[in-house]
Amino acid sequence: MVLLHAFPLNATLWRPQVEAGSAGWHVVTPDLPGFGSSAEPPTATMEEMARGVLRVLDGLGIQRAVIGGLSMGGYVTLALYRMAPERFSGMILADTRATPDTEEQKAGRRKMIATVREQGPSAIADEMLPNLLGATSQRERPSLTGTVRAMIEGNSADAIAGAVEAIMGRPDSTPLLSSIAVPTLVICGDEDVLTPPSDSEALHRRILGARLVILPGAGHLANIEAPEAFSAALQDFLAPLES
């Protein structure tokens, strides 16, 4: 199982799922190009990010896997399926969407690029944190704010700016959804304000046979806000796929 992290974080995001373990499954959580400990340079397109994931899989000798991601990681997952569907034995789409940015959203992305170039990653943390975590997490799990801030501030301005360009330029993946022919889990937090449950419901409707799980009391980073419930949903999804 390959899990791809959200923007503007790193593979540490998946620590709760790695620690929970998945019996019989080798869990791979790569840093996307330019992020965390990745040795690859920052990139500015989803296709280049997807190629980076393919290089990781090739380097590990992994021909097929259950591949998924959260938020930006979901965008990369869809780009990877468009590029190499034969590498998938299953798919996980968490707190993400298929539709492209609106013009208003693109304008906001351009401002974010200017902000990170002028003020650095800490300014991006200030801007994004109120929306990354759900209201319940902010109220009941305040330590998550520091955890997420550390992940953001550990990345370079170049990596963040490049990823914003990639997100802003991603294509509409809606036409791709009906062609997804592997078992698919769609999962999100019910307090997600960045990619609300309606986005996940749209994915669920268009992907034949997809399973939808909405986690109560979780926001955009559902896997760390409701780690036990998220990991349980993964286990339930993976169980029928075990060979």
Domain 2-241 is found in CATH 1.10.760.10 = no
Q: Alpha carbon of 43 to those of 50, 67, 106: distances in Å? A: 10, 20, 18
CA separation for the pair 233, 242 (Å, rounded): 15
Q: What is the pLDDT of residue 50?
A: 97
Contact present, 208 and 184 (Cβ < 8 Å): no
List, run by run, the mean pLDDT of 10-residue segments along the chain (243 residues).
98 95 86 94 95 96 97 98 98 98 97 98 97 97 97 97 97 98 98 98 98 98 98 94 76
What is the C-alpha to C-alpha distance for residues 32 and 94, in angstroms, rounded to an integer? Answer: 16
| Cα 217 from chain centre | 19
Question: Tokens in use for 142?
Answer: 């305040």
Say what the pLDDT of residue 243 is: 61
Strand 184-189 and strand 88-94: pairing? parallel
Neighbours of 223 (CB within 10 A): 26
Evaluate whether 15 touches 223 at the Cβ level (below 8 Å). Answer: no
**What is the predicted pLDDT for the residue at 242?**
77
Q: What predicted TM-score, i.e. pTM, was given to this entire model?
A: 0.97
Q: What strand order describes the sheet that includes 2-4?
A: 2-4, 65-70, 88-94, 184-189, 211-215
Q: Give the contacts of 10 (CB within 8 A, at least 6 positions apart).
A: 31, 35, 36, 37, 151, 154, 155
